[in-house]
Structure 1
Amino acid sequence: MRRSRKPIVIASRRSRLARIQAELVGKALSKLHPRLEIEYRWIDSEGDLHTGPSLAEVGGKGLFTRSLEKAVLAGEADLAVHSLKDMPAVDTPGLALAAVPPRADVRDCLITREGAGGLAGMPAGAVVGTSSPRRAAQVLRARPDVRIQLIRGNVDTRLRKVLDVSGEHGPSYDATLLAVAGLLRMGLREHVTQPIDVDEVLPAAGQGALGIQCRSDDHVTLTRCLPLNDSTIATAVHAERQVVAGLNGNCHSPISVLCQAVPPQSKSKRNTDSHWYRLRARVMSSDGQTVLATDETASPKELRRVVAQTVDALIAQNARRLLAACRGIPVGESAAGRPAAAAEAVAE
C-alpha cells in the first residue's frame, strides 16, 4: 500500500501558548514522518475575539475550540491542537481525539506581586483575579477572606495585571492562578515559584494535557497521529472528562477531577497490571464552603466502572443541585455576596 505524501495542516489559535503547543506537535510529527511537510493554519477563535465581560454567557469553553473544529470539519486543516482542559467534555460529532501526548505538570501555580508563601501567606482581603469557578471556589475554601475578581486575557496579560503596579494594564490584582504546564511551555519557569499541591487545589479535567483532534473518518491523519498517543495518559484524561460529562458539567461548573497512574494496589501473582489509577473528584459551591468529594483507586479494567461509581456518588451527594445553584448565581457575585468568577473560559 502506497503511503500518502499529503502535507499535514495543523489548526491552532494564534495566541503565544497555543502556537507553541501546535509547534510541539508539528515537530513530533516531523520526527515521525520526516519527508512530510507540516503546515499551520492560525485562527482567531471566537473566545479570542470576544471583548465582553463574561465568556460564560456566550458559550464558555467552546468558544476557544469551535473555530478550530470548524476548520477541521471543513477540510481546511487535518488536525487541531487544543489544551485538553479547554475542550468541552462531550466530543463534537464527526471529530475524534486522535492522540493525547505525555502530560505536563497538572498543578496550578499562584502568581503574586510579592512572594506570599502560598494561599495561606496572602494578605487579608487580597484581590485574586480568575475567570475560573473551579479555581475561585478552591481559593475561597482555603481563604474565605479574599476577594475574587474577574480577570481576562492570555498568560502574558494576566501576569502583567498582577506584577505591574503602575495600573497601565488595567485593574491591579494581588494574585492570580495559572497552569504550571502553560508557564513551562512558554519558557516562564521563573514564575513557577508557588505551585499549589493538588490536595489544596485539584486541577481541571485534562489540565496539563494536549488534545490532538481530527476528523473521525480521516484514517490517514489518525494513523499519523496515533504514535503520539500516551495510552496511560489518554485513559486517565478520558476518565476525567467522563466524570464532568456525567455531571452535565460546563464552563460554569466548579468541578475538579484528576486521574493519575499509581502503583498496583494488588500484590496477587495474577496481577499483571503495571499500574492502577487514582481518581479524585470535587464539586464545590461557588464560595468553596460546600465540597463534595470522592477518591477511588481502580485497576485499568475497573476504571470505567469506578468512573460511573464516582458520578453516581457525587449525584447522591446532590452534586447536580449544587451545580445548578452555581449556574444560577449572577456573574461577578458569589453565594456570599463576594465577587465570583464567571467561567473557566480564558483558555490559557
Structure 2
Amino acid sequence: MAIDRRRALALLATLPMLPALARTPDAPLLSAGWRDPGQWQAGSLGGPATALPERAHDIVADPRRPGEALVIARRPGHYLARIDWRRGRLLRLSEAEAGRSLFGHGVFSPDGRHFLTTENDEGTGLGRITVRDATTLRPLADWPSHGIGPHELLWLDQERLAVANGGILTLAETGRLKRNLAEMAPSLVLLDGRTGKLLAEYRLDDPKLSIRHLARAQDGTLAAALQSEAGPRPLLALLRQDRFRLADTPPELVQAMAAYGASVAANGNRFLLSCPKGGLVAEWDSEGHPGAQAQLAKPYGVTARHGDWLVSGEDGQLWRLAAGTLELLASEHFPELHWDNHLRLSVV
C-alpha cells in the first residue's frame, strides 16, 4: 500500500495548547487514529503524526521499545503498522494473512515478546486469536476465540486472557454489513494465554447486546462496554466474583445512552463509558452502582491519568474531567482534526 506521508509532517503544527492536556513527559497520550482532510493518522497528541493507509481502530504502546507502538486496522481490516510516535515515522506495515481480517484490537504478551490480535476467518466466519512475533509480526500460533466477531482482548493476570466476542458476523467482502443479527451470540471468554485453552465462558441474558470493549478495575472487576442491536438497553456489564451481569442503569440513563457504548476505561475502582450517539459519558463503581454523567459532544476515546479522566470527541475536542463528579477541568478544541475511538497512555 502506498502511503503519502507528506501530510503527516505538518499535522498538529497548530496545537500549541495541547501539551497541557496530552503531552506531559510521564506518559504521552496516543490516539489510534484521527484524520485531517483526506488522511488517516496515528501517533501522540501534540507530537508528529504518522500517515496510515486506511482507518485504524486501536493503538498499543510497545513495552519493550519506548517510543514505538502497533496500530491495528479497523474491522474488517487488513494491516498492522509499527510506528515511531516520537518522530512520526512508519517503521513496518504488515498485511493480514490470506483469508483473514483484523478486528481492531491487539495486546502484547506479559513479557512483550508476542502480540496477539483478534481476527476473523473469512472462510468459516469464526473468530480467531493470532499470536505473532512482536518484532516481525509473523504468526506463530492460531487459537479459536470461541465465538464470532472477537473485538478487544485484555490480560487479567500473567496467564489469563479475556476476549470480548461481539457476536456479529462481518466479512471483508461486504465491509461492515452485519450479516447475522437474527442469530447473534455474543460472549465474554477467558483463555489460557499460553495455550489458548478455554477456561470460562459468560453470556448475558440479552443476545442483542454485542460485547465490544474491556477495562479492569483495581479490585479486579472486569467491565465490558456494550452496543445494542435492539434499541435502548443498559450498556455496561461487569464480571465480578465469577458473575457476569448488567450494571445498574436507571431507565432515563438507558434512554440517554442511545444504544451505543463506544469505549470504557478504569480509574481505580471506577469505570467511565462513552456514548457518542447519546452525547454523554457516564460513571459506575466496580460494584455496578451508577455515578455521575456529563454531556459531551460525540465522546469516543476515554482513559485515566493522574486520577482524572481524559476524553476525546469525534469533532476534535479533548476534555479533562474530574473522576467522581465529572466536573469539566480543562478542554481544547481543534476542529480540523477528528479523533477516532480510543485513547491510550504510552510507554515512555
Per the normalisation by structure 2, the TM-score is 0.25
Larger radius of gyration: 1
Higher helix share: 1
Q: Which has the higher contact order (CA 8 A, sep 6+)?
A: 1
Per the normalisation by structure 1, the TM-score is 0.25
Higher strand share: 2
